[in-house]
Homo-oligomer: A and B are copies of this chain.
């Protein structure tokens, strides 16, 4: 909501705060305190808050003290400036306008990587900032599985496109009604006015100052209802932060454990809850009240429509299945970018080629191609893979929740979502960053990273939706 005129000052302010925070954290005295505390922490119960605080802070310090404060500030400052350049470039659909800023961001990221010990792959260092401890090789293995299983499946779905009609999802839906209905849903999930907000924005996100002040944003397009799913998505992020144990307030442990785990929560509420048939058994009559033009649509038809699989240009608009290939494309390009294996000026061309290869899509312009995402503008290389990891993790956790609460779908049909939310609090959210992402996943899902459940879920659900080889 900031006026454009504030961008430069905002960049300076963020850089100043980042530099100060970084300097204070990496001060030798903090290092000495941590050295003293680590042996003490090892005498404590591993699960105690104090032990976790020492363990996690020592790890954060080990990473942070390698990066000179000037570099850290420069990355933040350049990111804020490049963001404005990206906004202009996207508007003009002209990658050339963004290129010099991207080059600067990549240079800074390469200097950043050089601060760390050589990893198996350069990209490991970037990944570690968003998904601590995850290796590029592990991600590649998961993504190779998705490619092997889902690319042929998408091709098969393409042959059954007639099975799903979503024409009624394109109409005239007044934004204020969309907002009202989105609020009706997320209020049932747990949104309250005294601790949450929902505001309009260009690029939806969830943010907040503390667990009792959660800000969700979404965007409303008059001609579709995406805002409803976007609101559920952001609720998932917000709910994770909201339910961190209050004992961790104002400690470095008071947030989600990783971006992948965070995304598992947003995707869970958006897709596993919000695109399920039981959910719509409760809400479909209600959305028909809100938008009378949906009055003649059947529940089953609606359910299929909101699960339609269709290769498309824009990642954030993509369906559950093809979404992953938008991510895989970026994951592959980013490795080449950080390794200087490609000329950045060639990015639009490389982008378009991969879109063609994975999704059979021709990219009409750079705005809807290589310029579509904000992430590279703030130097967020290594971020994208966590979106698909989130998908994978979401179903691992979901299967466990279903095992422990077999009546979960019956509750959804009654508009009851509190048991799910409380289960998530207990098995995941309350821990915050006490444990590594790996440990946290193990606690929540009872298993380590595994693409199997996600692939099964997608193929089962979409086979049913598209009537593909469904068992009788």
Contacts and interface: CB of A to CB of B under 8 A. Distances in A.
Interface of A: 1-6, 8-10, 12-13, 20, 193-197, 208-210, 212-214, 249-250
**Among A6, A8, A12, A196, residue most surrounded by chain B Cβ atoms (within 10 Å):** A6
A43 to B, nearest CB: 30
A5 B250 contact: no
A6 B250 contact: no
Contacts of A212: 3, 5-6, 8-9
A213 B1 contact: no
Contacts of A210: 5-6, 8-9
A3 to B, nearest CB: 5
B250 A209 contact: no
Given A9-B209, A10-B213, A194 B250 contact: no
A22 to B, nearest CB: 14
Q: Copy number in this complex?
A: 2
A81 to B, nearest CB: 14
Contacts of A6: 195, 208-210, 212-213
Contacts of A8: 210, 212
A238 to B, nearest CB: 11
A52 to B, nearest CB: 21
7 shortest A-B CB distances, which residue pairs? Answer: A6-B213, A5-B212, A9-B210, A5-B195, A4-B194, A9-B209, A5-B213
20 contacts: A1-B197, A2-B197, A2-B209, A3-B193, A3-B194, A3-B196, A3-B197, A3-B214, A4-B194, A5-B196, A5-B212, A5-B213, A6-B209, A6-B210, A6-B212, A8-B212, A9-B209, A9-B213, A10-B209, A13-B209
A213 B4 CA distance: 8
Contacts of A250: 9, 12
A53 B299 CA distance: 69
Nearest to A20: B20
Contacts of A197: 1-3
A213 B20 contact: no
Contacts of A209: 2, 6, 9-10, 13
**Among A5, A196, A197, residue most surrounded by chain B Cβ atoms (within 10 Å):** A5
A20 B249 CA distance: 20
A183 to B, nearest CB: 14
Contacts of A249: 9
A5 B20 CA distance: 28
A147 B63 CA distance: 66
A193 B5 CA distance: 9
Contacts of A4: 194-195
